[in-house]
Structure 1
Amino acid sequence: MDGILIWILKPTLEDAKRAGVDQQKFFCGRKKQYGLNCQAVCDARGQFLDVSIVYGGSSSDLLAVEKSGLKQRLDRGLLAETKLVLFGDNAPHLNSSYMVTPFPNTSGGARDNYNFFHSQVRITIECAFGKLVQRWGILQMAMPRGITIQRTIAMVLALAKLHNFCIDEADGENAAILHRDEQHIITNEHGSVPLTANNQAGTDTPQDLIGGDQIRYQMQHSHH
């Protein structure tokens, strides 16, 4: 289990008001960026088992974890009847019956060896975040102004599910079909959505995807 900052531009006053917090609640002082605090759990294959985006970038990982739905389910005994545990850093997590954290201030000996193997397990979630960001390039930049906080959260959750789907397809019987589809997207002029320069946001954005809910709304009402 670990966290990542989902990079966004400074929210508008309207967007911040809708979220019920001040604009500065989204500013991460450590990374000097506006963003959303995303906490996630993955398995050994790098597939996401749980993704929680509850707070802005100014919130600590400890608070984000404590208020997540997963933490509440764990406290109620989600893993009580299993031999499974989560591996997490000792900054936002406390060692417990379901959370394993490294020993602090070790230098040699059995505890140091334990910490080494603990880090080898925990690096899986860091790799999963890396693959997620590399696979979906929009996560490598600040979210365009036209994508609200609510849409950003929904998009990250959707991309995490697509990330899991890609792992299943790449590891399963459909690996050859997936490769064929990837080539189709690359070579077919209608197989992808182009990035369009957005001078206001200062980034290239997928304009064809922005406002999709309005398009769907218009289509539904046009049939009536």
Structure 2
Amino acid sequence: MQSRQRAQFVLMLMFALFPTPDRTVWMKERSSHWWEYIVNRNFTDGDWMENFRMKRATFQYLCLELRPFLEKNSNRKCHSVELRVAVTLWICGSGMEYRSIGHLFGVGISSACNIFRETVQAIATHLSPKFIQMPTGRRLQNIVEGFEAKWGVPQCEEAIDGTHVPIIAPSEHKTDYYNRKSFYSIVSQVICDHELRVLHVVSGWPGRVHDARVLAKSNIFQKAESGTLFPPTSRLINGVEVPILILGDPAYPLKPWLLKTFSEFGVLSQAQRNFNYCHSQGRLCIEGCFGRCKGKWQILQQRLNFETEFVPVLILACFTLHNLVMVHNEGFDQEWMDLVEDDRNHIGYQPGHDMRQYDAKAIREAYVQYFNNR
């Protein structure tokens, strides 16, 4: 008993001689001075374009569009919608790591990660149907006319190609993601118009999958084969009825609705080589689309260290931002927005016209003669 009392006395003496210091700081102090005062009060439109990849007015429009969806998350109430969108744009534009983003904007690393993922998901889910859509009506006709005027290819509505976004080797099925260019990737199929605006995106396929297979499994292929992708409008070119079609590289199959070049492995005539050159000129738009999007949203050029399910969401969000910036910086096309509701629920035309009436080889030969006679 005495030993217990002695031990208690020793403990009380220790607490008296060595008191526990009061805890005055429960978390690391962070500063949002740069965002709140430097950016919001002093950044010019040039600064916004350089750092956030869009002008302040476009940024404010994006915040307005995302506000109803981002504010639903009560866990982020302490961070404004403007800060969340700014963090996301900065990461997409620079690929900066969360730690540096946290220091820059005055948020924690885990907060920066959650903010980025939530905002990217909101852009991909709620804004992509509004800014990425296949054209109909007068807008489609404007694109057809624009392709001929700008790229010299008549009766063309769009160009198609695949692009690889590098990723860290996934833990499962990694060989499926190792592409022919010798790196791990996720491939995305993109269709764009003559002004480099994205019309359709299919993303999420492992990098090893061939472009032709991605197309064959997409709803674009099914609609085109059934004659419901474009209206039944044809044009006589060198005596051949030509429907509205898509430009594709040699990786794709030759179809009445898909015009591809001749393989360079064969012996080509001068007329065929000239056709390939004119065709490649028309396809410059899809290369320009990829270059412009990846140049602006540089995260797509880095090896992405996300789970494979999130990467397609991020890719779709970046292409959505690509279109949003183009629409706002090059003039707002009201017809684009007027067609949102119709195009979102109905892409294609009913009833379908019979594509069997068109001969793919004859169509390509008609273009050979058309380009050769110009």
- Smaller-chain TM-score bracket: 0.5 to 0.7
Query: 3-state DSSP class of the match of 1:149?
Result: coil
Structure 1 or 2: more strand by fraction: 1
Matched, 1:73 2:218: no
| Higher relative contact order (Cα pairs below 8 Å, separated by 6+ residues) | 2
Structure 2 equivalent of residue 149 of structure 1: 308
Which residue of structure 2 lines up, in the alignment, with residue 26 of structure 1?
177
State, as a whole percentage, how many aligned pairs show the same letter: 28
Give me the whole-angstrom Cα distance separating, in 2, the residues matched to 1:125 and 1:114: 18
1:115 is matched with 276
Indicate yes or no: 2:248 matched with 1:96.
no
Residue 173 of structure 1: how far off its partner (Å):
6.0
Answer yes or no: is the 8 Å Cα contact 1:25–1:57 preserved in 2.
Answer: yes
* Whole-angstrom distance in 2 between the partners of 1:157 and 1:54: 10
Deviations 1:74-105 (A, max 9, x none): 112112513421000122x1222210011233
Partner of 1:137: 298
Determine the C-alpha separation between the residues in 2 that align with 1:35 and 1:103: 28
Question: Equivalents in 1 of 2:332, 2:224: separation in Å?
Answer: 34
TM-score (norm 2): 0.41
Considering only CA atoms, is the larger Rg found in Structure 1 or Structure 2?
A: 2
| Contact kept in structure 1, 2:245 and 2:256, CA below 8 Å | yes
Which one has the bigger helix percentage?
A: 2
Give the distance between the partners of 1:85 and 1:102, measured in 2 at CA.
Answer: 14
Deviations 1:37-84 (A, max 9, x none): 111110000011111124201111121121122112211211251342
Say if 2:204 and 2:311, in contact at 8 Å, map to a contact too: no
| 8 Å Cα contact 1:52-1:69 kept in structure 2 | no
The answer (yes or no) to whether the contact 2:247–2:258 under 8 Å persists in 1 is yes
- 1:127 aligns with 288
Match for residue 171 of structure 2 among 3, 6, 12: 12
SS in structure 2 of the partner of residue 125 of structure 1? helix
Shift of 1:108: 4.6
Q: Which residue of 2 is the match for residue 37 of structure 1?
A: 187
Secondary structure at 1:33 match in 2: coil
Residue 167 (structure 1) aligns with = 326
**CA positional deviation for 1:23:** 2.2
Task: State the shift of 1:109 in Å.
Answer: 2.8
Counterpart contact for 2:162–2:189, Cα < 8 Å: yes
The answer as to whether partners of 2:167 and 2:184 remain within 8 angstroms in 1 is: yes
Aligned to 1:3: 162
Are residues 46 and 106 of structure 1, via their aligned partners in 2, closer, same or farther at CA, if it must alter by over 3 Å?
farther
User: Which ranges in structure 1 are unaligned for 5 or more consecutive residues?
Assistant: 14-21, 175-224
What's 1:158 paired with?
Answer: 317
Contact 1:106 1:112 in 2 (8 A): no
User: Which amino acid in structure 2 is aligned with residue 56 of structure 1?
Assistant: P
Q: Which amino acid aligns with 1:52?
A: V
The alpha carbon displacement at 1:136 in A equals 0.5
Instruction: Count residues with an aligned counterpart.
Output: 162
Cα distance per residue 1:162-183 (max 9 Å; x no partner) = 1011111121169xxxxxxxxx
Task: Indicate the residue corresponding to 1:87 in structure 2.
Answer: 247
Shift of residue 106, structure 1, vs aligned partner? 5.2
Query: Aligned equivalents of 2:225 and 2:192: distance in 1?
Result: 19
Alpha-carbon distance between aligned partners in 2 of 1:169 and 1:7, rounded to the nearest angstrom? 29
What's the Cα RMSD here?
1.8
- Once residues 90 and 158 of structure 1 are traced to their aligned partners in structure 2, the CA distance between those partners, rounded to angstroms, is 28
Q: Which amino acid aligns with 1:87?
A: L
The alpha carbon displacement at 1:12 in A equals: 2.5
Residue ranges of structure 2 left out of the alignment (5+ in a row): 1-159, 234-242, 334-374
